[in-house]
């Protein structure tokens, strides 16, 4: 099998590789959760020297375990490991149980970790699926259903090495961006590669369409190029300077309110701008208009607006206004 041959040649020399001690494999899996290999490397062996067996870990005080965990972060993992060691000492005679259900029942051991320990430490033909493994499987099969191809990647003789090989492949070659397909040992059987569609897998979840919000604003510009701004009174942008206007959940109501408040040169907006803000897509129609100045309104030059407390959308609109000469 090409993948295992590559793994035998290229595998990363990591201290938890090459051991068959289920306890050491378990500790490595816990340490590697949300933590990089580089961070784990200098702490793995000292931890095992300090607590060489599950019973030794169970007997230790939590303070000692937390101290040995120092630098790895996410200390809940150390607390769970200590609690789980006590469970294993009390119920399983100090030996990690090989069954998936018993592993999953231990504090801090979820689906992924139970499957990783079962495959690597006990040779179970099971496949833990994390984002890394899902990406490789999805590309190999050109399918979103990574689970379907995974069994065919597991060697009956070396299930643990199969997991480690896919993991290494995902970390070093089949990376999320710019995978090195030219150096990939399984390129010939990679469907995404043969379809020239590597970037399409795994498929990205469809983006939820943002609900629109409408604004109609008045571009009121003085002869010397200054723009009329009004301070927003309410909402998350309260206190910021914006072009005066009206807004609403529907374009027709925003337009109707706007026409009641402003006299426009034409019925058509002279520019449109849109921008996602706070989970909505804000669509702005900009009209050349005249507006009655209100107390507190301010005239600012485009340069002053750039430095003012104005939302980025307002600055974007002002840039748009300034780049287009007023129509006669
Ligand atoms: Fe990943 Fe490219 Fe190899 Fe396919 S050929 S498994 S996309 S690195």
Question: In CATH, what number is assigned to the domain containing residue 39?
Answer: 1.10.340.30
Residue 166 Cβ contacting ligand 1 at under 6 Å? no
Residues 185 and 222 grouped into a single domain: no
Q: Is the predicted pLDDT of residue 278 greater than 80, yes or no?
A: no
Residue 305 has pLDDT above 60, yes or no: yes
**Is residue 76 located within the same domain as residue 192?**
yes
Last residue of a domain, one of 200, 229, 260: 200
Judge if the beta carbon of residue 135 lies within 6 A of ligand 1. Answer: no
pLDDT at 250: 93
Does the structure show a pLDDT above 90 at 255? yes
Which residue, by CA, sits nearest to atom 1 of ligand 1?
Answer: 174
- 256: pLDDT strictly greater than 90: yes
The residue from 200, 227, 252 where one domain ends is: 200
Q: For the segment 146-189, what is each residue's pLDDT rounded down to a tens digit? A: 777 777 777 878 878 888 898 899 989 999 999 999 999 999 99
**Which atom of ligand 1 lies at the shortest distance from residue 180's CA?**
8
Ligand 1 and 133: CB distance under 6 A: no
Percent of the chain's residues with pLDDT above 90:
52
pLDDT confidence of residue 328: 34
What is the domain range of residue 159? Answer: 2-200
Backbone angles phi, psi at 232, to 5 degrees: -75, 135
What is the rounded radius of gyration, in angstroms, for the C-alpha atoms of the chain? 31
Shortest-distance Cα residue to atom 4 of ligand 1: 190
Q: Kindly report, residue by residue over 92-124, the tens digit of the pLDDT.
A: 999 999 999 999 999 999 999 999 999 889 988
pLDDT greater at residue 225 or residue 48: 48
User: For 182, how many CA atoms within 13 A lie in the half-sphere containing its CB?
Assistant: 1
Does residue 167 sit in the same domain as residue 42?
yes
What does the angle CA 112 – CA 115 – CA 116 come to, to the nearest 5 degrees? 85
In the chain, the number of structural domains is 2
Residue 328 in any domain: the answer is no
pLDDT tens, 191-222? 999 988 898 898 887 777 889 999 999 999 88
Q: What confidence score (pLDDT) does residue 268 get?
A: 87
Q: Please choose from 133, 192, 200, 202 the residue to mutate so as to test ligand 1's pocket, defined by most ligand atoms within 8 A of CB.
A: 192
Q: What is the pLDDT of residue 163?
A: 82
Query: Domain for residue 71, yes or no?
Result: yes
Residues 88 and 217 in one domain: no
- Hey, how many other C-beta atoms are within 10 angstroms of the C-beta on 148? 11
The rounded distance, in Å, linking the Cα atoms of 96 and 127 is 19
Kindly tell me if the per-residue pLDDT of 75 is higher than 80: yes
The answer on 237 and 90 residing in a single domain is: no
Show which of 142, 175, 200 is a domain's final residue: 200
Residue 70 lies in a domain: yes
Within a domain: 135: yes
Model pTM score: 0.60
Same domain, 256 and 178: no
Are residues 15 and 116 part of one domain?
Answer: yes
Same domain flag for 44 and 178: yes
Residues carrying an active site annotation = 29
Q: Which of 184, 185, 200 to mutate to test the pocket of ligand 1 (most atoms within 8 A of CB)?
A: 184
pLDDT of residue 272: 87
Residues 12 and 154 in one domain: yes
Say yes or no: CB of residue 136 within 6 Å of ligand 1. yes
Which residue would you say has higher pLDDT here, 61 or 326?
A: 61
156 and 14 together in one domain: yes
The reported pLDDT for the residue numbered 320 is 85
Average pLDDT (263-279) is 84
State phi, psi for 213 to the nearest 5 degrees: -135, 140
**Strand 241-242, strand 227-231: pairing:** antiparallel
The answer on 132 and 24 residing in a single domain is yes
The answer to whether residue 205 is domain-embedded is no
Confidence of residue 324 (pLDDT cuts 50, 70, 90): low
40 and 171 both lie in a single domain? yes
């Amino acid at each position: 099998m090409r993948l295992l041959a590559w793994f035998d040649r290229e595998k990363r020399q990591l201290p938890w590789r090459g051991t068959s001690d289920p306890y050491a494999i378990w500790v490595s899996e816990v340490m590697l959760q949300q933590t990089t290999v580089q961070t784990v490397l200098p702490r793995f062996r000292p931890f095992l020297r300090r607590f060489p067996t599950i019973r030794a870990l169970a007997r230790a005080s939590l303070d000692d375990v937390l101290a040995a965990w120092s630098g790895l972060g996410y200390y809940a993992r150390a607390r769970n490991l200590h609690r789980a060691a006590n469970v294993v000492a009390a119920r399983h005679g100090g030996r990690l149980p090989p069954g998936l259900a018993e592993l999953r029942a231990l504090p801090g051991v979820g689906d992924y970790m139970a499957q990783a320990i079962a495959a690597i430490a006990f040779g179970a033909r099971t496949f833990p699926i994390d984002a890394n493994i899902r990406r490789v499987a999805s590309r190999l099969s050109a399918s979103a259903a990574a689970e379907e191809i995974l069994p065919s990647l597991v060697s009956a003789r070396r299930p643990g090495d199969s997991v480690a090989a896919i993991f290494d492949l995902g970390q070093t070659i089949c990376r999320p961006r710019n995978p090195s397909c030219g150096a990939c040992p399984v390129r010939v059987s990679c469907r995404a590669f043969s379809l020239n569609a590597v970037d399409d897998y795994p498929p990205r979840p469809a983006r939820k369409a943002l609900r629109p919000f409408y604004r109609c604003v008045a571009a009121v510009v003085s002869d010397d190029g200054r723009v009329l701004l009004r301070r927003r009174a309410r909402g998350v942008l309260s206190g910021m300077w914006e072009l005066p206007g009206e807004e609403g959940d529907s374009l027709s109501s925003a337009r109707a309110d706007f026409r009641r408040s402003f006299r426009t040169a034409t019925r058509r907006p002279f520019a449109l701008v849109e921008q996602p803000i706070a989970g909505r897509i804000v669509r702005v129609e900009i009209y050349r208009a005249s507006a009655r100045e209100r107390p507190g309104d301010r005239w600012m030059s485009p340069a002053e607006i750039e430095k003012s407390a104005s939302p980025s959308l307002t600055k974007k609109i002002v840039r748009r206004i300034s780049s287009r000469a007023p129509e006669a």
